[in-house]
Amino acid sequence: MKWNSKILNLKAYQPGKSIEEVKAAFHLDEIHKLASNENPYGYSPKVKDLLDKEGSSTFSYYPDGYSTQLRKEAAEFLGVKPTQLIFSNGTDELLHIISNALLEPGKNTVMANPTFSQYKHNAILEGAEIREVPLINGEHDLDGMLTQINQDTAIVWVCSPNNPTGVYINDEKLQSFLKKVPKDVLVVLDEAYYEYVCADDYYDARVLIQQYPNLIVTRTFSKIYGLASFRIGYGIASEEIIQALEPVRQPFNTNVLAQKVASVALSDQSFVQNCRKLNHEELERFYQFCEKENLNYYPSQGNFILIDFAHDGDEVFSFLLSKGYIVRSGKALGFPTSVRVTIGTKEQNDGVMDAMLEFLKQASMIN
Ligand X SMILES: *Cc1c(COP(=O)(O)O)cnc(C)c1O
Q: Which residues bind ligand X (CB under 6 A)?
A: 37, 90-92, 116, 159, 163, 190, 192, 220, 222, 228, 233
Q: Residue 327 CB, nearest distance to ligand X (Å)?
A: 15
Nearer Cβ to ligand X (220/337): 220
Q: Residue 360 CB, nearest distance to ligand X (Å)?
A: 28
Q: Residue 195 CB, nearest distance to ligand X (Å)?
A: 12
Nearer Cβ to ligand X (116/335): 116
Nearer Cβ to ligand X (78/355): 78
Q: Residue 259 CB, nearest distance to ligand X (Å)?
A: 14
Task: Give residue number: closest CB to ligand X.
Answer: 90
CA 246 to chain centre: 22
Helices 256-266, 68-78: axis angle to 10 degrees equals: 20
Q: Residue 249 CB, nearest distance to ligand X (Å)?
A: 14
Nearer Cβ to ligand X (18/318): 18
Nearer Cβ to ligand X (153/253): 253
Nearer Cβ to ligand X (93/282): 93
What is the rounded distance in angstroms from the CA atom of residue 339 to the CA atom of residue 212? 36
Whether the ω angle into residue 251 lies within 30 degrees of 0, i.e. cis, is no
Q: Residue 106 CB, nearest distance to ligand X (Å)?
A: 27
Q: Residue 301 CB, nearest distance to ligand X (Å)?
A: 12
What is the rounded distance in angstroms from the CA atom of residue 129 to the CA atom of residue 103? 9
What is the rounded distance in angstroms from the CA atom of residue 78 to the CA atom of residue 40? 25
Nearer Cβ to ligand X (190/195): 190
Q: Residue 96 CB, nearest distance to ligand X (Å)?
A: 10
The amino acid that residue 14 corresponds to is: Q
Total H helices, total E strands in the chain: 13, 13
Q: Residue 232 CB, nearest distance to ligand X (Å)?
A: 7
Cβ count within 10 A of residue 349: 22
Nearer Cβ to ligand X (17/323): 17
CB contact at 8 A, 168 and 197: yes
> Using only C-alpha atoms, what is the Rg of the chain?
21
DSSP tag of 178: H
CB contact at 8 A, 81 and 239: yes
CB contact at 8 A, 154 and 103: yes
Whether the ω angle into residue 164 lies within 30 degrees of 0, i.e. cis, is yes
Residue 306, SS3 per DSSP? strand
What is the rounded distance in angstroms from the CA atom of residue 81 to the CA atom of residue 239? 8
Nearer Cβ to ligand X (70/355): 70
What is the rounded distance in angstroms from the CA atom of residue 69 to the CA atom of residue 87? 12
Q: Could you report how far apart the first and last alpha carbons of the chain are, in Å?
A: 52
Nearer Cβ to ligand X (37/44): 37
Helices 19-26, 313-322: axis angle to 10 degrees equals: 70
What is the rounded distance in angstroms from the CA atom of residue 259 to the CA atom of residue 172? 35
Q: Residue 218 CB, nearest distance to ligand X (Å)?
A: 7
